[in-house]
Amino acid sequence: MWVGCSEAAGQEWKDVVRILSSDVTRGLCESDVEARRRTVGYNQFSETKEDPLWKKYLGQFKEPLIVLLLVSAAVSVAMRQVDDAVVITIAIIIVATVAFVQELRTDKALEELKKQVPATCMCLREGAVREYQARELVPGDIVHLAIGDRVPSDVRLFQASQLCVDESSFTGETEPAEKSIDVVAGINGVNTGSNGDASGLPGSNTSSSLHNIAYMGTFVRTGRGKGVVINTGERSQFGKLFRLMQDEEAPRTPLQINMDKLAKKLSIFSFGFIGIVFLLGIYQGIPLHKIFNIAVSLAVAAIPEGLPIVVTMTLCLGIRRMAQRNALVKGLHTVETLGCVTTICSDKTGTLTKNEMTATWLCTSERDECTLNGVGYECTDGKLEYTTGYSQKAYDAVTKLLETGMVCNNAQVVGGQLMGQPTEGALLVAAWKHGIYNSHEKFIRLDEIPFSSETKMMAVKVENKQSGIIEWLVKGGVEVVLADCSHYQYGSSPLPLTQQAKSNILSSAQEKGRQGLRVVCLARGSTPKSLVYIGLVGIQDPPREEVHAALDLLYHMGVNVKMVTGDAMETACAVAKAVGMQLVPGGVFSGNHLDSVDDSQLSNILRDANVFYRVAPRHKLRIVKALQSRGEVVGMTGDGVNDVVALKRANIGIAMGKMGSAVSKEAADMILNDDNFATILAAIEEGKCIFHNISNFVQFQVSTSIVALSLIALSTLFGLPSPLNPMQILLINVIMDGPPALTLGMEPIDEDIARLPPRDTSKDIITPRLIRNCLISATVIIVGTLWVFRSEMLDGVVTARDTTMTFSCFVLFDMFNAMSCRSATKSILELGLLSNWYLFVALAATLGCLLGVVYVPFLQWVFQTEALHLNDWLYLVALASTVLFVSELRKMLDKLRAGGNIWNSFNKTNKGYMGLSRIGGSSGKSREAKLYGLEEV
């Protein structure tokens, strides 16, 4: 019932119509349509049934850390510690709800993909052309295509009049594809499989040459045509892309993997801790049930219920900050993943370039050269500059050249939107920049020879309304047009054009072609074969101005950038050089070459290759997967339908907000609202600093947990009175695991962290360095708190003053510890005392709460405290501040041990590690990175 694209392209259209039992003059009858639909179904895409909302919400509780917290809550209830159970449950609900809401907003890519298929189309049935629903089409239907239509299914054309179809969303090529009805040579109508197509998706090595096939979802730019439907629904090339997207699952982010590992380590720690306490309890002769109660309670307390909330809050804050920097992030964990990106695979058209063909250079027949600035199909900010010097003679020559391009033209630009060929639109805008707006009104068009891939030229016969002179205006390929030129224009008179002059013109055009320009030759004459050469116009899809600087910074930050485009090699290499990509010998490969290598060979190729041309969607997907198999964290940028599968598979899919299709934006994890490639830099900086802040919180949380567990465990196991009563312990959990800890996730971006290479995702959050830092801080706090407790209870009796002094000492120690945990490497003076004012507001609130507990009578009764004197506070502040001073000393010694100058730590202008580089996927590390001990972050 179906005919594959390659099979149909390799046969005469009459044979294809016969195979499908159709009739180009009458179409199918309704009974045939119904019979075929029962076999092939509707021309639409089937989707897997989505889970109900309640099931999606419960799915949030499968995360290992959430499961661990659920177990902790259950144990707390069993131990009758309801307060702990309530706190843990609230934390779980908050995290699960935020993640659930975020998920509901992200999975709409398939819906947007379906919108690329038109709702209606013009179809011939039972001898009459009427409008039908596109979903009702079946193989064998005869469809009519006109300018502005979207193709409703894969169609084998049997009539094409100046038909050009925009396939850029599939192929990435800016120029519309010319269509004809001729058989494609070299295919011979071989059926290549169940789908009947070996070529894969449009943009592959063969489908780009299937000039007699119009693909579903593409856009008719010019002309009109008729064809027979050969594939519908998921059998179409568009359907294959849809299925690929359905089959691909987005990988788990590095942060999610790190959280999974942390949950496992916490589980092991909890069981290990229970075992140690059991052994010590048995050694002390404590009853088994009491040992069990103590051990389980402490193990539950060791699990940081605040961690999921801090992570969620930090990621939400990162999303908000990135939105202010024109990057819209759709997934919470996506934000941090950006800081791990090691390779960015960038599309060319619309990402590195503007996707707006623009005339940038012209040369008249008298060798007057001009450059044109401004980009796109509006000329409000564009103008023409004479590089060889302005004169009236040069002005007249340029006027004649651009007038020729404007009249030999079928394009229109309305409100900045092009209707017609991009090359012709560029010529129109170039004429406007020169002040020519209505040249076509001076002429009457008498005849036209349309552009074709065979002739590579277009000609129009016109009559001048004033002089009555009739002449042909011609534009096309340089070699083709020059072959018909016998003279060149010099002033008002034509002069003979010698072979040497033609060679010079060709050399000039070839040189511009190597620079990435598409050079158009223009001429005029009495006949199409007797022409006078007028000049050349160079047209290009210009690179984005900010890309060059952004690439330099990415390279310095240790991020590789690879161009992956469906365009030709010459264009791809020219753009790569223009934007400053690091091209190496043998680093340019085609989609054809990728088809000839296996996965292991591809992995080796990717080590050095950074430009891939003539690639199809399946090639982009293979490249992303091969990079990921090498341990790379891949960011993929794109703006077209052909990018969506790779966008979904990549660790970070990045779409263009202005020029990107709705499909690519829904499939991506991040959208650049300003289409600015440099915005990726801001996103990467944010991602690195988010993980840095989470690590700082973990350091604070772990050190606090060690102190609390040690104080209670030591006093219980060795028969000492408890230094804190239950209500004081509860308050410490609330106020110290609360605002001060949360605000560590709000630390502003650290420029030094932002310039480091991508972090090693194989390393856990809890590194040996972090454990060392925690143990140093915890030891100081434990010794100081026990010193106060021991000093206060010299009489052997625990009084309200004793517990108040101990409680206040512990809280003050944690406040100073929170200040030191703002950075694992930098002094608080480097960071700035008030740069994170959220933290100091939280500390002020904590201090206010502490003073209330100590001085408010009702709270004194609840928490069993009593008022302290001023001398007591001075003593406690002096003692508690030692944890900050020890931390500052440790940071200073770390820098000295790394060979740094400690005085640089106080010089805030000593910023940046721009010497960092990444070659071949391995992170380079500068002396400064080691100096600050950040290679483990």
List residues with catalytic annotation: 347
Beta-carbon contacts of 729 under 8 Å, excluding residues fewer than 6 positions away, are 708, 712
* 441 CB neighbour count, 10 Å cutoff: 9
In which residue are the tokens 């088994």 written? 288
Among all chains, which residue has been given the structure tokens 């070459």? 593
CA distances from 807 to 181, 467, 730, 812 (A): 87, 102, 11, 9
- Compute φ and ψ for 902, nearest 5 degrees: -65, -25
Give the tokens for residue 22.
Answer: 């159709």
Count other Cβ atoms within 10 Å, centred on residue 628.
16
Starting at the edge strand found earlier in the chain, the sheet holding 652-656 runs 327-329, 670-672, 652-656, 634-638, 343-346, 560-564, 611-613, 588-590
Query: How distant is the alpha carbon of residue 239 from its chain centre?
Result: 24
Virtual CA dihedral for 738, 743, 744, 746, nearest 10 degrees? 150
CA–CA separation, 144 and 303 (whole Å): 67
Q: Which amino acid is at 828?
A: I
442: alpha, beta or left? (left if phi > 0; alpha if psi -120 to 50): alpha
Residue 660, both tokens: 């990107």
Percentages helix, strand, coil for the chain (3-state, rounded to 5) are 50, 15, 35
Cα–Cα distance measured from residue 168 to residue 913, given in angstroms and rounded to the nearest whole number = 40
Q: Which amino acid is at 264?
A: K
Say how far apart CA 733 and CA 302 lie, in whole Å. 11
DSSP β-bridge partners for residue 226: 144, 159
**Nearest by Cα to 495 from 362, 363, 405, 367:** 367
Residue 588, beta-bridge partner list = 611
478 residue type, one letter: V
Amino acid sitting at position 423 = T
8 Å CB contact between 24 and 156: no
Structure-token pair, residue 522: 């223009």
Residue pair 666/642 in contact (Cβ under 8 Å)? The answer is no
**CA pair distance 731, 81, nearest whole angstrom:** 14
At residue 438, the 3 state secondary structure works out as: coil
- Cα separation, 145 vs 166, in Å, equals 13
Residue pair 302/266 in contact (Cβ under 8 Å)? The answer is: yes
Of 481, 480, 479, 461, the closest CA to residue 471 belongs to 461
Please tell me whether residue 825 adopts helix, strand or coil conformation: coil
Whether the CB-CB separation of 47 and 110 falls below 8 Å is answered with: yes
Token pair in block for residue 156: 């084998």
The backbone region for 376, taken as left when phi is positive above 0, alpha when psi lies in -120 to 50, beta otherwise, is left
CA distance linking residue 202 with residue 208, whole number of Å: 6
Amino acid at 670: M
Q: Please check whether residue 125 is in contact with residue 140, taking contact to mean a CB–CB distance below 8 angstroms.
A: no
Based on DSSP, count helices (H) and strands (E) in the chain, helices before strands: 36, 29
CA distance 230 to 189: 14
Is residue 471 within a helix (H) or strand (E), and if so which, with residue range?
Answer: strand 470-476
CB 406 within 8 A of CB 420: no
